[in-house]
A and B are shown apart, each in its own frame.
Chain A
Amino acid sequence: MSSFDVYNSYYEKLSKNYLIVENNDKDFFQKHTNKIALETGDVSGYFDKEAIIALLTNYSESLLRVANNDLEFISVGYFSNGDYSKICSMKKSDFAKLATKIAQMGKFDGNKEILNAIDKLTELTDPKKAVLPKFNVKIDKKKYSFDSNTIMQFLTDGYKNYNFKVHKENILGLPKDECFFMLKEFIYENKLREKYVFDKESQRFIDKILMDAYANTFHFNKILYTTDENLGEVKLDDEFVNLILCDMPKNYSKAEKAIYIYIKLCKVLTYDPEFYANSQKGMTAIKHKDLLRLETITKTNNQIVCYEFSQIYAILLNMVGINYEIIGNPEYGIGHRKIVFRADDFIVSADSVTSILGGDLYNAKINKKLDGLLCKNKNKQTVAKFNSFRRNVYQNLIINESSNQTDEDVFEEFLAMFDNFCKKEVLSIQQKKEIFEKQSKQTELPTTEKITHLMRIAKRIFYQETKQKKFDITIINGKKIQGLEIASKPLMVFAFNEQTFKQSPYYTSYYVVQDDGTLKEISREEINKNFDSGMFKYINAGVGGVHVIPGLQTEGQIVR
C-alpha cells in the first residue's frame, strides 16, 4: 500500500466519526464557535447560527454520515500536515435542535436538499426510533437485563401513567429506587441527553431522574465492602467499647447506630491540645502516628487527633455491621482523615474535626447542633429522613444523659427543646385576663402570700407580653379609708400596652386587682389623682429601688 493509500485509509476512518471541513473554511468555523442561545429558542451550542447554516449548506452529506455514528458529539475539524485538528464539538441533540429551529425560521425554504438533511437528522435523534442493544445493569450485588426499547418507551411515554409520589409497587419489574437507578444508568451509558432530542416534558422527567427527585438511588453500588488495611491490626479497649455501646438502644437501625456511636465518641474523646498548640508537628505528632496507641484509649486517656477518631469510629462501625471508606491520605498518621459509610440507604460523611476549635468534638459536649455528620444522598426526602434520625438520636442521648439531673439549666434546656418540637398554643389577652381572675378568686391565702402567688401566676400567664415589654405588674400602697382611719394595703396594678411602654406610653391601659380577685380597669388620670392625693404611694422595696408603674407621666417618675 502506498503512503497515499495509507493516508486515504486513515482519512476515511476519521471521516466516519469527524466532519472534516476544507482548509479554506477552517477560519470561518473557528470564528463561529461561540456558545450562544438562538434568539427564537432556548438552545445554545458550540456552533453559532452561521456555522450551522454553513455546515448544512456545504457539508450535509458528511454531516449525516457523522450523525449516523455511535458517538454523542458532532465533531468538526480539519486536516493539516497529515494530522486532524478539532475545531469544535457539539452534542448531536443540540445540533439537531438548532438546525430545526433555523429551518423553522425559514432560512432554508425552497432548499429541498438541506430540508431533507434536517429531516434525516431529526430522525436520527428521535428517541422513539432508537435501536439500542439489551441493557445490562448491576444494582448492588444483583445483575439485571432489560430490553432497551421498553426502557425508551417508558422514558418517552410510559412514565406519564405513574404518580411517583404515591406509587409503591414495582416499576419495570423493580422496586422504585432500584428502577430509577437502572434508568439513570441507562441514560448515562447510552448518552441519551447527548444523542437524542426528547420533548420538553420527557426532558424534564429525565433531568429530574438524574437529580434523584423521584427516588433515592445515590447509595446503590457504593461502599458494598470495607477495605481497610488497619481494621484487623488494632483492638480497642473493652471497657471503652462498652462505654460507647452499652446504652445504645437495641432496636436502632444501622443509621441510628452509626449516629449514636458518632455522638458518644464526640462526647467522650477530645482533641489533643498539645498537638494543636504545636501546629500538629514535633514529638506529640509522632506518638499519634502509632496505630497501636488506639488500644490505650479510655475514658480518661481520651486525647486524639482526626485520623485516630476516624480509625476508632471505623472499628466501631465494623462491629455493628456497617461498611465504610476512609477518606484522606492513604498513609495513617499523615494529613486529615474522615470517614464515609453506608448505613441502610444512606451514604454518610463523618468528620468530627471540621475545625479543631469548633467541630463536633466541641458541639457534642455542649449539646449544640452537629455539623460533621452529613447525609450525602441527592434525594431530598432521604436527606430529611436522615436529619430526623440524627436529631432524634441526639435528643434521646441528651434526655437520657440528664435523667438524673434536676438543676435549672437542664429544665431550661428541655423547655427550649420542647419549643423547637411543638407549635405553641395561642391565647388572647382577654382569655388570659379571665384565667387570671379565676386563679385570683380561687387563691385562698393570707394577703401578702396571695399577692406573692398571684404575681408568680401573672408572670407565667402574661410571660409573652412581659418579654415583649407590653405587660408589667407593680405593687403599690393602695390606701383605704376605714371609718376614721386610713389603712395601707398592698395593691396590684397591671399595665397593658399594645405596642411597648417605650414606643407608646400613652396607650397603656391599667387594671387593679380587687379584693374579690377581679380586674378593674382604672384610668391614668385616676391613678395620678390618687398619687397626688396620697391615696396611692409607691412602696420602697429596699435594694433595687422603687418599681414604678410604666407609662405614667408624673413628676419625679420614670416613664418605662
Chain B
Amino acid sequence: MLDKLRSLNQKLIEKYHKEKDDKNETIQKIISRLLKDEDCFFKVSIEQAFTILRELNINKEDFEKIYLQLTKPKNWQIFLTILNL
C-alpha cells in the first residue's frame, strides 16, 4: 500500500512540475520525503495521515480504509511460515 502511495506521489510531482504549479509540487516533494520512511504512518497523527491522503488526491471515502491498511501490523503468521516455525 505504501508503495502505491509513493507511486501516486511521484506521478503528482511530475504533473505539478509540468504545470509549473510550484506550491503543489513542493507539497508533493515534502510528502515524498515523509513516505520514504517505512514507519511514516506510525509517526504522524491521524489528522496528518488523512491530510497526506487528501493531497495525494485519494477519495475521502477511502481515507479510513487505507489508513487501517497502512497501520495494520504485518501478519506475524506469515513470518512464522517463512521461518519454518
Alpha-carbon distance A388/B25, docked complex (angstroms): 13
Alpha-carbon distance A427/B75, docked complex (angstroms): 28
Number of A residues with CB within 8 Å of any CB on chain B: 40
Collect the chain A residues with CB atoms within 8 Å of residue B33's CB: 399, 402-403, 410-411, 414
Query: What residue in chain B is nearest A467 (Cβ atoms)?
Result: B45
* Residue from A410, A415, A421, A425 having most chain B Cβ neighbours under 10 A: A425
A27 at the interface (CB under 8 A from B): no
Q: Would you call B30 and A418 a contact (CB within 8 A)?
A: yes
Neighbour of B31 across the interface among A403, A418, A424, A457, CB < 8 A = A418
Q: Would you call A421 and B23 a contact (CB within 8 A)?
A: yes
Within the complex, what minimum Cβ distance (angstroms) separates A101 from chain B?
Answer: 52
With contacts A422-B55, A435-B64 taken as known, whether A415 is within 8 angstroms of B48 at the C-beta atoms is: yes
Neighbour of B37 across the interface among A388, A406, A424, CB < 8 A = A406
Alpha-carbon distance A32/B54, docked complex (angstroms): 70
Query: What residue in chain A is nearest B54 (Cβ atoms)?
Result: A425
Query: What residue in chain B is nearest A453 (Cβ atoms)?
Result: B73
Collect the chain B residues with CB atoms within 8 Å of residue A464's CB: 45, 47
Neighbour of B34 across the interface among A395, A411, A438, CB < 8 A = A411
Collect the chain B residues with CB atoms within 8 Å of residue A411's CB: 33-34, 37, 43
Could you write out 12 A-B pairs with CB less than 8 Å apart? A395-B26, A395-B30, A396-B29, A418-B27, A418-B31, A418-B52, A421-B26, A424-B47, A426-B47, A439-B68, A456-B42, A460-B42
With contacts A435-B67, A442-B72 taken as known, whether A421 is within 8 angstroms of B47 at the C-beta atoms is: no
Mark each residue of chain B from 31 to 73: 1 if its CB lies under 8 Å from any CB of chain A, else 0: 1011011000111111111111011000000011001100111
Interface of A is mostly: helix
Q: Would you call B68 and A442 a contact (CB within 8 A)?
A: yes
A392 at the interface (CB under 8 A from B): yes
Collect the chain A residues with CB atoms within 8 Å of residue B64's CB: 435, 438
Collect the chain A residues with CB atoms within 8 Å of residue B72's CB: 439, 442-443
Query: What residue in chain A is nearest B24 (Cβ atoms)?
Result: A421
Query: What residue in chain B is nearest A466 (Cβ atoms)?
Result: B45
Q: Would you call B26 and A443 a contact (CB within 8 A)?
A: no
Within the complex, what minimum Cβ distance (angstroms) separates A412 from chain B?
Answer: 9
Q: Would you call A461 and B46 a contact (CB within 8 A)?
A: yes
Q: Would you call B68 and A425 a contact (CB within 8 A)?
A: no
Extra contacts besides A392-B22, A460-B42 (12): CB < 8 Å: A406-B37, A411-B43, A415-B34, A422-B55, A424-B51, A425-B51, A426-B47, A427-B46, A427-B50, A439-B68, A461-B45, A464-B45
Alpha-carbon distance A390/B68, docked complex (angstroms): 38
Collect the chain A residues with CB atoms within 8 Å of residue B23's CB: 388, 392, 421
Mark each residue of chain A from 360 to 403: 1 if its CB lies under 8 Å from any CB of chain B, else 0: 00000000000000000000000000001100100110010011
Within the complex, what minimum Cβ distance (angstroms) separates B4 from chain A?
Answer: 19
Collect the chain A residues with CB atoms within 8 Å of residue B84's CB: none
Q: Would you call B71 and A457 a contact (CB within 8 A)?
A: yes
Q: Would you call B71 and A424 a contact (CB within 8 A)?
A: no
A84 at the interface (CB under 8 A from B): no
Alpha-carbon distance A421/B55, docked complex (angstroms): 11
Query: What residue in chain A is nearest B71 (Cβ atoms)?
Result: A457
Collect the chain B residues with CB atoms within 8 Å of residue A442's CB: 68, 72
Q: Would you call B30 and A414 a contact (CB within 8 A)?
A: yes
Collect the chain A residues with CB atoms within 8 Å of residue B30's CB: 395, 399, 414, 417-418, 421
Q: Would you call A460 and B22 a contact (CB within 8 A)?
A: no
Q: Would you call B47 and A392 a contact (CB within 8 A)?
A: no
A109 at the interface (CB under 8 A from B): no
B77 at the interface (CB under 8 A from A): yes
Q: Would you call A418 and B71 a contact (CB within 8 A)?
A: no
Mark each residue of chain A from 414 to 446: 1 if its CB lies under 8 Å from any CB of chain B, else 0: 110111011111110000100100110011111
